[in-house]
Amino acid sequence: MIDTMAFLLVFFMIASLAMTRQAGMPVSLPKAEAAAPQTWGDRALVVTLNRQGEVYLDRQLVGRDELEQRVRARVEKRPELLVVINADAALRHGDVIQAMDAVKKAGAAHMAIATAPSGEMQAKR
């Protein structure tokens, strides 16, 4: 009986981890052959840049000029946060670099750029 309960506990723990998704907005990510599916859970702060040039911080619309201070406030509370740049493939390279620069100036020690595995260039849901 205890073995069964332990098995069920482990099963549900693993299943709940597998069901977490990245908290970004739907964008068409650039593809990369070396990309692998990742889940970040609550240890990541997602900065999304959509095709229209709008900037979102964990699904909340923010102005480009306030991105740095909003990221700084979150990173000061949790310095281990990974900041994931979730940018639409149609954006200009300079727009992505601007966002990365704001994140770096905010003091983020860890940053990643979200990509889609090759052949799966579709909007994330």
pLDDT tens for 78-125 read: 999 999 998 998 889 899 999 999 999 999 999 988 887 775 444 444
Mean pLDDT of all residues in 36-40: 60
Give, to the nearest 10 degrees, the angle between helix 93-105 and helix 67-77. Answer: 40
Q: In the predicted model, what is the mean pLDDT of residues 18-46? A: 62
The structure tokens 């999304």 sit at 48
- 4: confidence class by pLDDT, cuts 50, 70, 90: confident
Q: 30 φ, ψ to 5°? A: -65, 150
Q: pTM for the complete prediction?
A: 0.66
Quick check: 49 and 95 in contact, CB under 8 A? yes
pLDDT at residue 122, as a whole number: 45
CATH topology classification for 23-117: Nucleotidyltransferase; domain 5 (3.30.420)
In whole angstroms, what is the distance from residue 36 CA to residue 33 CA? Answer: 9
User: Is the C-alpha dihedral spanning 66, 69, 71, 74 positive or negative?
Assistant: negative
Q: What is the 3-state secondary structure (H, E, C) of 4-72?
A: HHHHHHHHHHHHHHHCCCCCCCCCECCEECCCCCCCCHHHEEEEEECCCCCEEECCEEECHHHHHHHHH
